[in-house]
């Protein structure tokens, strides 16, 4: 596992980094970096963990992740299955407005963009209606060089600043002031939960992973994530359950519940409604109605 924060290598003489990915699955560990990241997911499905919040992602979507925001694009389980031929594709643009670009972002003409970056330091998802347009802008940045690439980046950020209905990725009040050792410890816990949510996770086993007593771990986890261990595990499980319910890969709601680590249907229904705000059946009905309305 990489230690937080891992630093993206910046090519000599460049302040904008463009990374193209074509892999069996996305990098599977929680991490952060000083650069702001704009990612266009071209192909792939899974869960984006940003801060202490979770969001499903799929091909065609565009996200902005703030500087030093812990995040993880976790590919769905089928991407890790033996013999899987699935793949992910994405293009990401990285830049650090507090590094070599600081003087540029401090110009009076950049005040609007600078205010926009400060406002959305916890990241957001571009609304679906605008995703295609921003995917094209990312592609333009990808294939440009020199001053032209810098101009296209500024144009993209300016366009984002005037876009409405962005979907926040994490709470506005959440800050990321963890030290490297703290971040590494939280990352190991997050990674373990994200990969073992379908099993009977216990507080004792996760506390041992963090080298803390159960009581000390609960305090530590709440301090650094502003949520409890149980609440976080429930969020992960319900998020995965939502995707399974909509995909229809399993026979019934009970199969979904047990596949996501719940020990009983009663507990699953209670937790699901508490996290999602509606019952599993109502969730399926609402989604089916929304799909029909768009056809």
Instruction: Tell me the pLDDT of the chain (295 aa) as tens digits.
Output: 333 444 555 566 789 999 999 999 998 888 888 899 999 999 999 999 998 788 999 999 999 999 988 899 999 888 998 899 999 999 999 999 999 999 999 999 999 999 999 999 999 999 999 999 999 999 999 999 999 999 999 999 999 999 999 999 987 555 556 677 777 888 889 889 988 999 989 999 999 999 999 999 999 999 888 889 999 999 999 999 998 888 876 678 999 999 999 999 999 999 999 999 999 999 988 876 543 444 3
| Coil, helix or strand at residue 114 | helix
CB-CB contact of 141 with 159 (8 Å): no
* Domain segments of the chain as ranges: 16-168, 197-294
- Cα-based distances in Å from 130 to 41, 64, 135, 159, 254: 14, 13, 9, 10, 37
Neighbouring C-beta atoms of residue 99, cutoff 10 Å: 13
Q: Tell me, what's the pLDDT at 118?
A: 92
Q: Where are the beta strands (DSSP E) in 61-205?
A: 61-65, 71-75, 88-95, 124-125, 167-168
CATH fold of the domain at 16-168: Jelly Rolls (2.60.120)
Indicate yes or no: pTM above 0.75. Answer: yes
The CATH architecture to which 197-294 belongs is Orthogonal Bundle (1.10)
């Amino acid at each position: 596992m990489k230690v937080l924060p891992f630093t993206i290598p910046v090519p000599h003489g460049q302040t904008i980094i463009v990374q193209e990915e074509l892999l069996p699955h996305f990098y599977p560990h929680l991490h952060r970096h000083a650069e702001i990241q704009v990612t266009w997911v071209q192909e792939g499905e899974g869960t984006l963990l940003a801060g202490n919040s979770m969001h499903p992602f799929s091909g065609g979507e565009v996200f902005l992740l703030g500087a030093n925001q812990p995040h993880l694009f976790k590919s769905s389980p089928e991407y890790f299955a033996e013999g899987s031929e699935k793949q992910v594709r994405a293009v990401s643009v990285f830049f650090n407005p507090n590094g070599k670009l600081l003087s540029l972002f401090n110009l009076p003409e950049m005040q609007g963009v600078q205010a926009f970056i400060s406002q959305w330091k916890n990241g957001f998802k571009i609304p679906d209606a605008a995703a295609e347009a921003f995917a094209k802008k990312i592609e333009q940045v990808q294939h440009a060089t020199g001053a032209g690439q810098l101009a296209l980046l500024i144009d993209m950020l300016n366009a984002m600043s005037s876009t409405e209905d962005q979907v926040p990725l994490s709470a506005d009040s959440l800050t990321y002031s963890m030290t490297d050792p703290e971040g590494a410890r939280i990352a190991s816990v997050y990674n373990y939960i994200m990969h073992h949510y379908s099993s009977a996770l216990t507080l004792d086993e996760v506390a041992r992973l963090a080298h803390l007593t159960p009581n000390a771990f609960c305090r530590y986890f709440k301090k650094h994530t502003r949520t409890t261990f149980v609440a976080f595990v429930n969020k992960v499980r319900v998020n995965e359950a939502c995707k399974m319910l909509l995909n229809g890969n399993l026979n019934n709601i009970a199969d979904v519940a047990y596949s996501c680590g719940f020990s009983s249907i009663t507990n699953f229904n209670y937790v699901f409604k508490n996290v999602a705000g509606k019952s599993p059946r109502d969730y399926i009905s609402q989604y089916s109605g929304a799909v029909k309305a768009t056809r």
